[in-house]
Structure 1
């Protein structure tokens, strides 16, 4: 196990290598970040404007779900002006387990308001003013404050603005001259009047609805309407450190062993053995990687690659091409709101199940049965300027698989 929780000597640093993955750990000790946590109840960028209740409902039973994760997901190096949070919910009913829609995730984003482009007013003795944003460049050089931003660790506790919370995880045209005159409406044409009342009274439906922009048809419910929450923990974070030898072996064998599976359709014991062997290889890689930092509950790497729990299910086919097949991976579905591609952002791992259920009195068969929960988000971080928006994101769940061993 990499020494993430203790001071290591200089002599021991050569025994480990650091990856681009940031690991999250559940802790009862405050970390200085009051936003990111596992379990408990969610909070919002604007408490007066929570999301619609539909985002908290299981798509299987339509009941309210429990919060698994709330993450302060500000990314200064990618979206320096945006505030972001990610929320992951799950249904705890046994009948909904292992069914699509029983685990959901959505992104909460607040983008700054667009600044109106002001055109210089004509005047006899006045020269057009130089845009104010050029002043800093003229005095100090460079391309502005954003050029000094480093590749911020999504778990870092520093922030470049007072408005954006600390991140623990790393055009308008000119007015028309006709606007001075009030519009003249023909007396015999009631259509505009009817439309005006329809707009004011919100009669009918939006003629141009925006995809994935959920209408607030039902307000966010009171806390008492949700099932009892999981125990809440703060989130602490450290870069992933791995022993060097396993990493070298993984690189040497990745092309021939990772996600290898028999796709020839062979029957009999040989085909079954090959299938189970392929399953074991992927699961073994997952287990070996997790075992080096066994207390992790979260793996974070924006635009990275997930660590697959299984290499044979539909989720795996989105990230890898099974051995014997040709073509490209399917990839995650594109953002329904803006059409941009989705990228991997984070995944939850079984350590979270242990942390959330260790103090609950339940039978082993009643607990959560997922192996990993993968969340893909819009690469453009789409949203509406000047307001808080909620966008449901893609969730790929790889459930526990039990293979009979000889």
Structure 2
């Protein structure tokens, strides 16, 4: 994990900070009881869990294991919505690299719809205080000051650079973010929240089912699931990258190591570059600068592709040497809105979740990255918790054949 004890504003720094926020696994409590890796999921309303259909692998129909639960409140985009993301995977070897073995869904609770009050024409209207613009646009019973366009995971206040505030910590209500500029509190009973979302700057692919999963089968008991992955807390820091010259040197070092370890006596430069997908090399070099990362978050950002040649890649880029338009992610089946990139998981998560498990090397997870696209409208049902399956693009692990 990067060291942020030094002053990041010093001139002549040998790194640059991107808009991506990186997630890290930790065994130390972070103050956030919502965001975590592995373990079992929890719900916005314990009395309203999702249907069991969302817990099942589409290949074998067996129950899956939780990879990630994230407090994904986005105050500047959806100021009154509570929001969580859940990603699960099937751990059966026979289901690996097959459609539907990794799934994700969004849990959202929207406020009650406001009812308009009718007044008789004979009544003398009483003067009432005018609500502020935020209340007029978004509803609510008390004025709120809204952040001006800062991504929910953006650094704010003390920020993560000082190390004094945990970016995933939930101090109080999970529906409020702490990435707001200094302001006068309106309601002392609603203190600001520090969530994962409060600190971010804001191959087969899954085909989500539309709308809510209408079924009477309830979410199963914890004992019905396979043994869960070890649970970890989730911490976050902004992504810092080395200077370009340093990054190039790192790439050359990676090549030299590859050549040295190759049992065939090493590969020349041309063979090396042609035998590796350049997109994969870019992925590896970027992740290697912060090797302990398990998650990359940038709402409405761009994913870091693991491969540039599979079906998932064509949704974001035009393959080299080919023509055509970028396909983009499928639209939300519930409301028809576009989906936007929100986060991706990277192989560091595999290491953290499997390092203490007794298994053969061939029995572990084999994905290179898991990309999550979510509804840009955060659609849901007013006054109650709703569950929407979201789009997941899985780029599976590739192995380069060496001569």
Class of the TM-score when normalised by the shorter of the 2 chains: 0.7 to 0.9
- Partner SS state of residue 283, structure 1: helix
What is the CA deviation profile of residues 153-203 of structure 1, one whole-angstrom value per residue up to 9, with x for unaligned ones? 424645478399642233xxxxxxxxxxxxxxxxxxxxxxxxxxxxxxxxx
Partner of 2:116: 117
| Bigger-Rg structure (1/2) | 1
Aligned-CA RMSD value: 2.8
- Partner SS state of residue 289, structure 1: helix
- Partner SS state of residue 239, structure 1: strand
What is the CA deviation profile of residues 27-84 of structure 1, one whole-angstrom value per residue up to 9, with x for unaligned ones? 0000110100000000000000000000000000000000000000001111111110
Are 1:245 and 2:244 counterparts?
yes
Superposed displacement of residue 275, structure 1: 12
Q: Which of 295, 311, 315 in structure 2 is aligned with 1:314?
A: 311
What is the CA deviation profile of residues 340-376 of structure 1, one whole-angstrom value per residue up to 9, with x for unaligned ones? 0000000000000000000000000000000000000
Unaligned runs of 5+ in 2: 136-142, 154-166, 170-176, 181-186, 199-208, 250-269
Partner of 2:125: 127
Q: Which of 325, 348, 351 in structure 1 is aligned with 2:348?
A: 351
Matches within 5 A, 1:4-403: 4-8=2-6, 14-123=13-122, 126-127=124-125, 129-130=127-128, 132-133=130-131, 145-149=144-148, 151-154=150-153, 155=167, 157=169, 158-159=177-178, 162=190, 166-170=194-198, 211-245=210-244, 277=274, 279-403=276-400
What is the CA deviation profile of residues 91-146 of structure 1, one whole-angstrom value per residue up to 9, with x for unaligned ones? 0000000001000000000011111011222225x136557425999xxxxxx634
Partner of 1:266: none
**What TM-score, normalized by structure 2, do the two folds share?**
0.77
Q: Aligned in 2, Cα 1:211/1:288: closer, same or farther, shift over 3 Å?
A: closer
Higher helix share: 1
What is the CA deviation profile of residues 244-268 of structure 1, one whole-angstrom value per residue up to 9, with x for unaligned ones? 2159979xxxxxxxxxxxxxxxxxx
On the 8 A contact 1:276/1:403 being kept in 2, the answer is: no
Unaligned runs of 5+ in 1: 138-143, 171-209, 251-272
**What TM-score, normalized by structure 1, do the two folds share?**
0.77
Q: Aligned in 2, Cα 1:247/1:118: closer, same or farther, shift over 3 Å?
A: farther
